[in-house]
Amino acid sequence: MISKSRLLCTSAGLALALTATPLLAQDVTLTIESWRNDDLTIWQNTLIPAFEAANPGITLNFAPTAPTEYNAALNAKLDAGSAGDLITCRPFDASLALFEAGYLAPLDDLEGIANFSDVAKSAWNTDDGSTPFCVPMASVIHGFIYNADAFAELGLEEPTTEEEFFAVLDAIQADGTYIPLAIGAVDQWESASMGYHNIGPAYWHGEEGRLALISGDAKFTDEEWTEPLRVLARWGEYAGDGYLAQTYPDSQNLFTLGRAAIFPAGSWEIALFEEQADFELGAFPPPVPAEGDTCYISDHNDIGIGMNASTEHPEAARTFLNWVASAEFASLYANALPGFFGLSDEPVTIENELANEFVSWREECESTIRPTYAILSRGTPNLENDNWLHASNVLAGTETPEEAAAAIQSGLESWYTPGMFD
């Protein structure tokens, strides 16, 4: 026979268990897949504590994979059903393929997605723009970083037009103390990303030109696409005697050691340059072709984050994604990682002076993304890689701008027909 006191204890224990279970069930851990292993400390020391403090019951586990291994490792995990709850998204086709395979959940009904412009969402959206599948986290901005001490020494001011830009290069060249431009022709992506895609939007009018390529209303052989290649061709005479054998790390070293005055740059250089250079740094946006022309910047979507369609914790994951879409996250991320800028419409104060200079260009310039990423690099030859090759040839002087433009257009036309992905 069970005693009354024992029965009461048992009932009380059962009641406690029943009331406790739902509470324990609310405590979840979300694992974040990422290639950004350089950001581990930022997540552990800044982002995770901020989120967990505001969202008790949800724990974050940032679990990065080496960048070169990420795509293969992530696909293997997704196939096996062992991937994390949240997926850090590379821009454009790689993530679109994951969504189309059913691995990423649609986010069109996520409240925070309304905080982003169509350009910001373009890297993680369906071709028709109807269904976003990753929340934009950060972009990188292209322009020029320069040795401000050298400019002061030579009495130079930041150029705003193409004519002024070459006048500055001529002055640096004539003085002979510094190499005017730190850029090499070995790493082909450097010639395209730091060169052609940096200055080009001012000539093809940013998004207008990019979308015209996709629709077939523009060709690389058109003047607005060939002219920036002609400008790039002129850079070779200002890049120093060894530029034909110069790698991207060589370019970085020439600049940070004070041997070159101007670095055609991406904003991701900021932290490294501030750490290594012992001189004052400045930055200016890509010069416009002529005074009065609209300024354009490559404000290129770089990092997003989405929800694993198979997560067991969709509500917690959505809570996190809405936080990523907030001004709080944008501020924390931009200040922890100078040169990686939030993409939301929410205003953000950036403490780093040089990073703040880059992001301020959004107020005076039109933003666009690199024209070779969305849709146009799905075939063979890959348009992005073709741009790399021919931009490098132009910079090296082994191919004329007109020859390069014709080759790029011929490669694209060999497989791409406007509307083929509709």
pLDDT digit string (tens) for the chain, length 422 residues: 334 333 333 344 433 333 333 333 469 999 999 999 989 999 999 999 999 999 999 999 999 999 989 999 999 999 999 999 999 999 999 999 999 999 999 999 999 999 998 888 989 999 999 999 999 999 999 999 999 999 999 999 999 999 999 999 999 999 999 999 999 999 999 999 999 999 999 999 999 999 999 999 999 999 999 999 999 999 999 999 999 999 999 999 999 999 999 999 999 999 999 999 999 999 999 999 999 999 999 999 999 999 999 999 999 999 999 999 999 999 999 999 999 998 988 788 899 999 999 999 999 999 999 999 889 999 999 999 999 999 999 999 999 999 999 999 999 999 999 999 98
Interstrand relation of 295-307 and 365-368 (parallel, antiparallel or unpaired) = parallel
Which residues, 6+ apart, have CB-to-CB distance to 95 below 8 Å? 89, 104, 123, 124, 133, 134, 304, 306
Smallest CA-to-CA distance from 103 within 130, 82, 128 is with 82
Could you tell me the residue ranges of all domains in the chain? 27-139+300-360, 140-299+369-413
Unique residue bearing structure tokens 């504590």: 49
DSSP 218: -
User: What integer pLDDT is reported at residue 16 of this predicted model?
Assistant: 36
User: What integer pLDDT is reported at residue 252 of this predicted model?
Assistant: 97
* Packing angle of the helix pair 67-80, 93-100 (nearest 10 deg): 10
User: What integer pLDDT is reported at residue 26 of this predicted model?
Assistant: 61
One fold for both 27-139+300-360 and 140-299+369-413? yes
Measured CA to CA, the distance from residue 343 to residue 136 in angstroms comes to: 6
Hey, is 142 helix, strand or coil? Answer: strand
The continuous run of DSSP H or E covering 303 comes out as strand 295-307
Please tell me the class of the 140-299+369-413 domain: alpha beta
Sign of CA dihedral 25, 26, 32, 33: positive
- Cut 0.85: pTM above it: yes
CATH number of this structure's domain 27-139+300-360, picked from the four choices 3.40.190.10, 3.30.300.30, 2.60.120.10, 3.90.79.10:
3.40.190.10
For residue 380, the tally of other CB atoms under 10 A from its CB is 11
* Residue 126 tokens, joined: 């369906």
The continuous run of DSSP H or E covering 49 comes out as helix 48-54
Measured CA to CA, the distance from residue 217 to residue 213 in angstroms comes to: 6
CA angle (225, 230, 232) in 5-degree steps = 100
User: What integer pLDDT is reported at residue 19 of this predicted model?
Assistant: 36
